[in-house]
Structures are given as C-alpha cells and as structure tokens.
Structure 1
Amino acid sequence: MRLIKKGKVKDIYEASSDTLIFSFTNRVSAFDVIMDDEIPFKGKVLCDFAVFWFEKLDFDNHFIRRLSPTMIEVKKLNMIPIECVVRAYLYGSLYNRYLNNSLNLDELHQYFQKKDLKLASKLPKLLFDPTTKSDEHDEPITRSTVLESNLVSREEFNLLKNSSLDLFNKVSSIISKAGFILADIKFEFGREQNTRRLLLADSIGPDEFRIWNKKDYRLGSIQESYDKQLLRDWLNETGFKQKVEEYRGSKLNPIIPRLPKHLISEIADKYIDAYERITGRTFEKS
C-alpha cells in the first residue's frame, strides 16, 4: 500500500491499479491551513458518515467496502477537476463575496443586486457555485470559464450541475427529518476508468456540508454550527483568518494558534451529535 496523497484531513493510498484506500484522520483544517491540534473521533465520524451516505443515496459512487473504523476502499477514478458546491443560503464565503462586491455568478444576478441582504438569508433557489479543485486554495469559477478552460464539456457541465442539485435535495430531505437545515454542500465526481460512467466520489460529511438546527435558525445572525464552521468562527474572532489572507501568495505562513480545549470538545461533540441524529445510529467511540 503506497501513500500517494496526504490531504488536509485524509490520507490516500494506492491499493491496486484499480482501487484506493481513504484513511480518515483526526486532523482539522480551516482557511486551507491544517491546525496543530486534532479533534478526537473526527476520523471515525467522517468514515461513518461516508459509508452512510454512499449506501443511502441513490447515485452510483466509488465506494467498495469498509476496511476499518477509519478506512474505506474505493474505485480509482479519473477525477473531474471541479468541486461542485450547491448553496441554499447566503452564508460563509458567498456572503463575504457579496459584501466585497466580488460575486461572479451564472445565476441570481437580480437577487444579489438588492442592497442590504442579510446574513443567512434563504436564496430564492438553489445556487450551483462550483470552484476550482486545488490542494492550496479553491476559487469560485463560472460556467463560461470552465468551458473556455476545457475543464469539462458543455454536456458534462450540465450533468454535473443537475446531478449536484439532485443530490442536494436528497441529502437535504434526510437531514431535514433530523431537525437540520442544509445550508450548503460540496460534491466531487469522477469517471470510471473503463466505462467512463460518472460516479459520486470523495466523501460526504461535516467537512463537506454546513448544517444548522432548524429551531435555532435566526435570519441575520451567525448560526450555531454542526460542522467545522465552529472552528472558522473562532479563528475569525482571533484574527487568524485575516492573517491567512495577508500571508496568502507569500512563502511565509502565519503562526497557527493552539485550539482551546473547550472548542476541541465542542467540535467533537457536534460531529457526533450530527451523525447520531442524521443516521439514527449510536456512534461507537471504540
């Protein structure tokens, strides 16, 4: 088994010419920076979630089998170089782009021309907001740029968009029954090496989606988060996010802050609570 990629939160090994092994770790990242502190049980939660969604969603995927509490075997795919983000609410980086007047979208132009849109506003329809796929920093990308760059064909772009919107609705339906709002989510896709069939890839969990408690939702406010937004909010409050932006593009890296114990514990508890509520299963820590 050969390590071929050490990611921000998972390690990828080549098991054979046709298969890979995903090893989910307790590492946590924000703003493309890996923290020095880890989140207990995070790797197992992410692995549990990945297995749950691959088995639950009615969409062909690359999952083969589970190997251990934190490892799965998947088909090796020709990955599509786009991250397919679907948004239902004005939040996170989308809200920052709105405030900075740096939106470059294929849709909802009239909506975003309104003044004083509030944080966490529900969008009038689902927004397909793809990004580049980078190990360093993903950037929003429009349909025209995707096609001009020959990243995918016109037909493939439409298939990715429609598949992502369909999957959002499927995930949202399941999450809604657990009392959550699905604010946004990221999907990745790849082509099967022999058949060229489009498959859902990577994984789905708190590192890929943003969910809020329905009963706690407050328009215009920072929402209580059940994903790593907790970490992002804390890093923003401490000024670390601003430092990351200042250092971006240089060879220097900002000093990574140590995470307080209460934050580490809260993130771990939120991940586990989200898993148990969404799946209806008890999380086994062993």
Structure 2
Amino acid sequence: MSKNIDFVFKAIFQIENFWNFRSLLNYIAGLKFATLMIFKHAMVNNTQSSTALGGVKFKGRLTKSFVFNRCKQLSLILLSFSLLFSCTESQKTTSGASGDQSTQSSNELVAVGTGSRPANAPIVVPSDSLIVPGEGLGNIKLDAEAAPIMKKLGKPDAGDAAMGKAVATWFEQHDSTGHALSIFTAKDMGNSPVAKVKQIRVTAPAYKTEQGIGAFSTLTEIQKVFKVRKEKGYQIKQEQIAVYADPSGIAFEVDKDGRCIGIVVYAKGDLHPDTYARLVPGSIISK
C-alpha cells in the first residue's frame, strides 16, 4: 500500500512541475499534507471499529484497494483543479494583454482641441478639422465656389458685403462671445458672377494643422513649425493683437501672453493688408 501512496504523490509532484502556478502549488501542498496526515492516522488505527476517509464510513480493516482507490480519486481531483487554475490564469493573461493594447491603442489616438497628448504620440487630426496652409480648413477649400458652402453652414450670424466681396461669420451657439468661423469671398467682377472662397478665419481650438498647431498654441510652438514673420497687427477692445504669417498661406493672431487666438488660411504668398479689417469687425489695423 505504501508503494501505491508513493506512486500517487509522485504523480502529484509531476502535476505541480507541469503546471507551475504559484497559487495552485500552495493549494496542492495543503491537500498533500492533509491527505498524508489522514493516511498516517488510518494506518496506525487500522484496527479500530470505524474509520472515516473522504466522507465514507466503514467498519473493519483498512484495505489496500480502498486506500488506492481514494488516492486515485484525490489525483483526479488535483488534476481537475490544475486544469481549472490553468484556464483562469490564461484568461487573466489574455485579458491583461488585451487591456494594455486597448489602452495603447487607446493612448495613440490624440483628442483634437485639448492640447494634451502622450509624449511621442502621433498627432491625429480629423480631416474635417484639419488646417492646410494655402489650401483650406476642413471641408472648406480656398477658391471653391462659395454658394454650396454657405448653404451647408446655414445663415451666418454676422456679415458684410460690397462690390462683389463679402464676409460671413458664424459663432459657436450663435453667441458673439464664442468661437468664430469667418469666410471671405470675392467675385471676379466682369469675368464671373460666381463668388469664391478667398480667406478663412477660425478661432476654435478644434481646428489644427497636421503638426497640432491651432488656437491656444504658443508663439514658441508656432515658430518651431512655421517660418513666420511679424506683420501688421490690429487692436480690438483696447487689446493689441500681433500677427505672424507664413508665406505658405497661414497667419496666426497672438495675444499679449504669446498665445494664438485665431488662424487665417489664405492663398500662398503675402498676407493681404486688409485681411483683418475684413475678417475682424471693429478692429483697428496697427500702423
């Protein structure tokens, strides 16, 4: 009988080495110790009138076959627990890896307009919020026919028109103190009656260049990306605003704190001197 018991415990040791899970090994060690104590107690008192093992009571001598059968049952139980623990650990590992990937994945995608992103993470700007110097802003393209764009945007909150030129402005939530989108259009008088987009101005931080530059960017950040030069600024509500333009077709309005408050997209070349007189009603152009 002792050989049979040794055989069972050798099998248990092999299960331990095979699965090699700390939590499982601790559980098995406790079971082995308890089982060994029961066997030793039973061998010493095998002549007693009754013995309990595995919840079964019987009278008489403890037989080899009984002990061996109980050992086999314990081996199966331990093997079942091994399989259960292995499945649980595998699910935890898979779940953890998936969570990390989701987070990463999740950490690569930058929130447009927040101004914050993980270090070295790629900048992702939605196409309808992308500023492209000399070309356009989102779905509004320079030199595109103005009528379909105006129809899509709806009635402007403010505007002015004269001599084939017009400016239309839309405010966020129709509140004149909110972020603004302005479009300057012009007709080629004498050649075409169709008004086309010539300049676009935006103050909402959701619109950015592919490098992540937009409203709320600092002048230092702008100068790292664009070769801007200082142009004539303007004054509005007793605040002086500086203007920095890049000949690729983009200009930045910068406040006294060195932070961008607005961006104008225009055709490549020099910034038109009347730009802010057109796009910022009530502004006074600096001398």
Greater radius of gyration (CA): 2
Query: What is the TM-score of this pair, normalised by structure 2?
Result: 0.22
More helix by proportion, 1 or 2?
2
Between the two structures, name the one with larger relative contact order (CA 8 Å, sep ≥ 6): 1
